[in-house]
Amino acid sequence: MPEYAKSQPAGFTNAIERVAIVGAGGTVGSHFVAALLKTGKHKVTALSRKDSSNTLPEGVLVAPIDYDDEATIVTALKGQQFFIITLSPTAPRDTHSKLVQAAAKAGVPYIMPNSYAGDIEQVKLGEEIMLGPVAQAYRDEINRLGMQWITVCCGFWYDYSLAGGEARFGFDFDKRSLTIYDDGNTKNSVSTLSQVGRAVTKVLSLKELPDDENDESLTVSAWLNNAVYVKSFVVNQNEIFESVKRVTGTSDIDWTVTHEATTKRYEDGLALVKTGNMTGFAKLLYARAFYPDDASDCSAKAHNKLLGLREESLDEATQVGVDMVKELQRRPERMAS
């Protein structure tokens, strides 16, 4: 049964005002926080490990938590209307579940689970990159505990993936080398980190529920147990290379370009992961997403227009990526996962 604001108890505000987040100082979480705070409509609480060395953005309320003491998480989540989880892939396996269980005890109705990847409906791709079943289990647990989820399908983060080394978009900026997968013409739909932040903020700034059965305006409730689809660009590696050359003022002679089959890269990455070497993971993940017959492209479902997201410039995003290279090199453990 659809829910309406008119049937809610007195005091119902029909707006998501209190948002809690794990990873407020992280790669994507910091963009959520920046965009949410910019609206002036949301009070953001950062759940952060009490011994965390991450710098948290100004303007967030900080709730120190201890993953071995559930009460600290439940207390931090009491009264929150929406809970965003952006958790490092290096976090212990049971961390996500600890957060979700605590959210249920605290009475949080809606959760954005860790995922931030391609289309959840591309099931075969999800299975072959191993992330699909994990994200499905996160969503299932949220529903099992009586809450609802909104996930984000954004494809690869463009700036991060460009900056993140050869295993991602194939670029090594220190060596000025590029590995092109197959012929470099397979397109992926990708999103800048800031675009992901803006998309989620647009959704969370809508009315929570329609006022009544005649209210056809967009509401947060339209996305419950569903995905926010977002994109910045639909690009292939050859187009990215052209943009990189424009932005860095270089030309073909400055770059060493090699080609490799995506199938071989996928198998090589998988073999490394099977021996416990997680450096193979990014390799298999990106290679598989660029398979010509089943690439990661959810652009046809993108909610950009619906949410009023502005067009972005590829070269500006490439510049952000180039500027991010050194920052990511300072996070070797995170980047190797």
Q: Which of residues 103-132 bind ligand NAP (CB under 6 A)?
A: 114-117
Structure tokens at 154: 């954004």
CA dist 312 → 29, 200, 309, 335 (Å)? 20, 17, 9, 26
Asked if 336 is part of the footprint of ligand NAP (rule: CB under 6 A), the reply reads no
Binding range to ligand NAP, per CB under 6 A, among 22-30, 172-180, 229-237, 245-253: 22-30
C-beta closer to ligand NAP: residue 161 or 304: 161
C-beta closer to ligand NAP: residue 48 or 221: 48
CA dist 299 → 25, 49, 71, 195, 230 (Å)? 28, 36, 41, 14, 7
Asked if 23 is part of the footprint of ligand NAP (rule: CB under 6 A), the reply reads yes
Which position among 27, 45, 299, 319 is part of the footprint of ligand NAP (CB under 6 A)? 27
SS3 at position 151? strand
Nearest distance from residue 31's CB to ligand NAP, in Å? 9
Q: Which of residues 37-76 bind ligand NAP (CB under 6 A)?
A: 48-49, 52, 54
C-beta closer to ligand NAP: residue 159 or 182: 159
Nearest distance from residue 272's CB to ligand NAP, in Å? 18
Which position among 138, 156, 173, 229 is part of the footprint of ligand NAP (CB under 6 A)? 156
C-beta closer to ligand NAP: residue 86 or 299: 86
Runs of H (alpha helix) within 169-261 = 193-204, 237-248
Distance in angstroms (rounded) separating the CA atoms of residues 317 and 153 = 19
Edge to edge, the sheet with strand 171-172 lists 171-172, 177-181, 256-260
Q: Which of residues 234-263 bind ligand NAP (CB under 6 A)?
A: none
Q: Is the dihedral of CA 271, 330, 173, 198 positive or negative?
A: positive
Contact 245, 239 (CB under 8 A): no
CA dist 129 → 118, 124, 216, 336 (Å)? 11, 9, 38, 16
C-beta closer to ligand NAP: residue 43 or 334: 334
Applying CB under 6 A, the residues found at the interface with ligand NAP are 23, 25-29, 48-49, 52, 54, 86-91, 95, 114-117, 154, 156-157, 160-161, 334
